[in-house]
Structure 1
Amino acid sequence: MRKLVEQPINKADTSPLLRSEKHESAIRQVSGSARYVDDIPAPDSLCYASVGVTNVTSGQLEALDLSSVWQSPGVIDVITIDDIPGHTDIGAVFGGDPILLDKEVKFHGQPVFAVLAETEEQARIAATRAQMRFSQSEPLLTTEAALAADSKVRPTHEFGRGDVEATFNHAPLTASGHLSVGGQEHMYLEGQVSLAIPEEEDRMSIFTSSQHPSEVQKLVAEVLDVKLHRVAVDMRRMGGGFGGKESQAAQWACLAAVFALRTRRAVKMRLPRMMDMQVTGKRHPFENDYAIAFNEQGKMLGAKITVSGNCGHSPDLSDAIVDRAMFHVDNAYQLGDTHVVGHRLKTNMVSHTAFRGFGGPQGLIVAEQMMDVVARKTGLDPLTVRKLNLYGPQNGMTTPYGMPLEQDILADIIAKLEADSEYWQRREQIRAYNAQSPIIKKGLALTPVKFGISFTAKHLNQAGALIHIYTDGSIQVNHGGTEMGQGLHTKIGQIVAHEFGVTLDNIEVTSTRTDKVPNTSPTAASSGTDLNGKAAQNACITIKERLAALFSEEFNVTADEVIFANGHVMAGGHSLPFTQLIQNAYMARISLSATGYYRTPKIFYDRDTGSGRPFFYFANGAAGAEVSVDTLTGEYTLDKVDILHDVGTSLNPAIDRGQIEGGFIQGMGWLTSEDLRWDDSGRLISNNMATYKIPAIGDTPDHFNVALFDRPNAEDSIYHSKAVGEPPFMLAISVWCAIKDAIASVADYQQDPALPAPATPEKVLMAINALRGEA
Structure 2
Amino acid sequence: MRKLSEQQQAATSASPLAKPAAHESASRQVAGSARYVDDMPVPADTCYGAVGQSRCAAGRIRNIDLAAVRAAPGVIDVITAEDVPGHVDIAPVFDGDPVLAQHNIKFFGQPVFAVLAHTVEQARYAATLGNIEVEPTPALLSIAAARDLAAKVRPSHQMQQGDYAAVYAEAPIKLEGQLKVGGQEHMYLEGQISLALPEEDGRMMIYTSSQHPSEVQKLVAEVLGVGLHKVTVDMRRMGGGFGGKETQAAQWACLAALLAQRNGCAVKFRLARSQDMQVTGKRHPFENSYAVGIADSGKILATHVTVSGDCGHSADLSDAIVDRAMFHVDNGYYLGASRVTGHRFQTHYVSHTAYRGFGGPQGMIMAEAMMDNIARATGQDPLTVRKRNLYGPDTGDTTPYGMQVEDNLLPEIIARLEDSADYWARRKTITAFNQTSPIIKKGLALTPVKFGISFTAKYLNQAGALVHIYTDGTVQVNHGGTEMGQGLHTKIAQIAAHEFGIGLDQIEVTATRTDKVPNTSPTAASSGTDLNGKAVQNACQIIRQRLIDFYATSLQLQATDAQFSQGQVSLAEHSIGFTELVQQAYLARVSLSSTGFYKTPKIYYDRASASGRPFFYFAYGAAVSEVTLDILTGEHKTTRVDILHDVGTSINPAIDTGQIEGAFIQGMGWLTTEELRWGDDGRLTSNNMATYKIPAIGDTPAIFNVDLLHRPNAQDSIYHSKAVGEPPFMLGISVWCALKDALSSLSGYTQDPQLDTPATPERVLKAVLAAQDAGL
Q: TM-score, normalised by structure 1?
A: 0.98
Listed as ranges, the matches of 1:189-338 within 5 Å are 189-338=189-338
Q: Which amino acid aligns with 2:422?
A: E
Distance in 2 separating the partners of 1:121 and 1:668: 37
Partner residue, 2:27? 27
Give the Å deviation of 1:768: 1.0
Distance in 1 separating the partners of 2:669 and 2:103: 37
Q: Which amino acid aligns with 1:163?
A: D
**Residues 561 and 572, structure 1, Cα contact 8 Å, conserved in 2:** no
Give the Å deviation of 1:710: 1.3
Give the Å deviation of 1:572: 1.1
Distance in 1 separating the partners of 2:717 and 2:326: 25
**Residues 567 and 577, structure 1, Cα contact 8 Å, conserved in 2:** yes
Q: Which amino acid aligns with 1:685?
A: T
Give the Å deviation of 1:559: 2.5
Give the Å deviation of 1:331: 0.1
Give the Å deviation of 1:394: 2.1
Partner residue, 2:593? 593
Partner residue, 2:624? 624
Identity in percent? 66
Q: Which amino acid aligns with 1:221?
A: A
Give the Å deviation of 1:555: 2.2
Distance in 2 separating the partners of 1:298 and 1:343: 29
SS of the residue 2:624 aligns to: strand
Query: C-alpha deviations, 1:733-770, integer Å up to 9, x for none?
Result: 00000000000000100010000010000100111111
**Residues 334 and 390, structure 1, Cα contact 8 Å, conserved in 2:** yes
Query: C-alpha deviations, 1:165-202, integer Å up to 9, x for none?
Result: 11111101011011000000000000000000000021
Does 1:654 pair with 2:644? no
Partner residue, 1:566? 566
Aligned Cα root-mean-square deviation (Å): 0.9
SS of the residue 1:158 aligns to: strand
Give the Å deviation of 1:14: 1.1
Listed as ranges, the matches of 1:428-439 within 5 Å are 428-439=428-439
Partner residue, 2:55? 55
Does 1:671 pair with 2:671? yes
Distance in 1 separating the partners of 2:515 and 2:409: 42
Which range moves more in the overlay, 612-621 or 127-136?
127-136
SS of the residue 2:598 aligns to: strand
SS of the residue 1:63 aligns to: strand
Query: C-alpha deviations, 1:110-168, integer Å up to 9, x for none?
Result: 00000000000000000000112111111001111111110000000000111111111
Listed as ranges, the matches of 1:717-736 within 5 Å are 717-736=717-736
Q: Which amino acid aligns with 2:392?
A: G
Partner residue, 2:130? 130
**Residues 743 and 768, structure 1, Cα contact 8 Å, conserved in 2:** yes
Listed as ranges, the matches of 1:270-669 within 5 Å are 270-669=270-669
Which range moves more in the overlay, 555-564 or 612-621?
555-564
Distance in 2 separating the partners of 1:32 and 1:474: 27
Give the Å deviation of 1:396: 1.6
Which range moves more in the overlay, 529-538 or 554-563?
554-563
Q: Which amino acid aligns with 1:556?
A: Q
Distance in 2 separating the partners of 1:83 and 1:753: 55
Query: C-alpha deviations, 1:539-572, integer Å up to 9, x for none?
Result: 0010011000011112233322311111000021
Query: C-alpha deviations, 1:443-495, integer Å up to 9, x for none?
Result: 00000000000000110000000000000000000000000000000000000
Query: C-alpha deviations, 1:624-672, integer Å up to 9, x for none?
Result: 0000000111100100000000010000000000000000000000000
Partner residue, 2:156? 156
Give the Å deviation of 1:692: 0.2
Query: C-alpha deviations, 1:40-63, integer Å up to 9, x for none?
Result: 001111000000000011111112
Distance in 2 separating the partners of 1:378 and 1:291: 16
Partner residue, 1:170? 170
Distance in 1 separating the partners of 2:40 and 2:726: 30
Give the Å deviation of 1:702: 1.3
Distance in 1 separating the partners of 2:154 and 2:646: 35
Give the Å deviation of 1:391: 0.8
Structure 1 spans left out of the alignment, 5+ residues: 1-11
Partner residue, 2:5? none
Partner residue, 1:40? 40
Q: Which amino acid aligns with 1:144?
A: A
SS of the residue 2:383 aligns to: helix
**Residues 13 and 503, structure 2, Cα contact 8 Å, conserved in 1:** no
SS of the residue 1:773 aligns to: helix
Query: C-alpha deviations, 1:378-437, integer Å up to 9, x for none?
Result: 000000000000011221211010001111211000000000000000000000100100
Partner residue, 2:103? 103
Structure 2 spans left out of the alignment, 5+ residues: 1-11
Partner residue, 1:8? none
Distance in 2 separating the partners of 1:372 and 1:229: 55
Q: Which amino acid aligns with 1:769?
A: L
Partner residue, 1:769? 769
Q: Which amino acid aligns with 2:446?
A: L
**Residues 180 and 288, structure 1, Cα contact 8 Å, conserved in 2:** yes
SS of the residue 2:639 aligns to: strand
Partner residue, 2:7? none
**Residues 303 and 339, structure 2, Cα contact 8 Å, conserved in 1:** yes
Query: C-alpha deviations, 1:209-245, integer Å up to 9, x for none?
Result: 0000000000000000000000000000000000000
**Residues 214 and 518, structure 2, Cα contact 8 Å, conserved in 1:** yes
Partner residue, 2:9? none
Distance in 1 separating the partners of 2:556 and 2:639: 65
Partner residue, 1:713? 713
Give the Å deviation of 1:13: 5.9
Q: Which amino acid aligns with 1:24?
A: E
Distance in 2 separating the partners of 1:56 and 1:315: 20
SS of the residue 2:628 aligns to: strand
Distance in 2 separating the partners of 1:135 and 1:169: 51
Give the Å deviation of 1:302: 0.8
**Residues 492 and 536, structure 1, Cα contact 8 Å, conserved in 2:** yes
**Residues 146 and 152, structure 1, Cα contact 8 Å, conserved in 2:** yes
Q: Which amino acid aligns with 2:770?
A: A
Partner residue, 1:704? 704
Q: Which amino acid aligns with 1:334?
A: Y
Query: C-alpha deviations, 1:586-644, integer Å up to 9, x for none?
Result: 00000000000000000000011010000000000000000000011110010000000
**Residues 638 and 701, structure 1, Cα contact 8 Å, conserved in 2:** yes
SS of the residue 1:772 aligns to: helix
Query: C-alpha deviations, 1:685-706, integer Å up to 9, x for none?
Result: 0000000000000000110000
**Residues 740 and 753, structure 1, Cα contact 8 Å, conserved in 2:** yes
Q: Which amino acid aligns with 1:448?
A: P
Partner residue, 1:7? none
SS of the residue 1:669 aligns to: helix
**Residues 15 and 498, structure 1, Cα contact 8 Å, conserved in 2:** yes
Distance in 2 separating the partners of 1:487 and 1:46: 32
SS of the residue 2:29 aligns to: helix
Distance in 1 separating the partners of 2:553 and 2:470: 22
Q: Which amino acid aligns with 1:480?
A: G
Query: C-alpha deviations, 1:83-131, integer Å up to 9, x for none?
Result: 0010000001111000101111100000000000000000000000011
SS of the residue 2:324 aligns to: helix
Query: C-alpha deviations, 1:266-322, integer Å up to 9, x for none?
Result: 000000000000000000000001000001111011101100000000000000000
SS of the residue 1:395 aligns to: coil
Which range moves more in the overlay, 137-146 or 262-271?
137-146
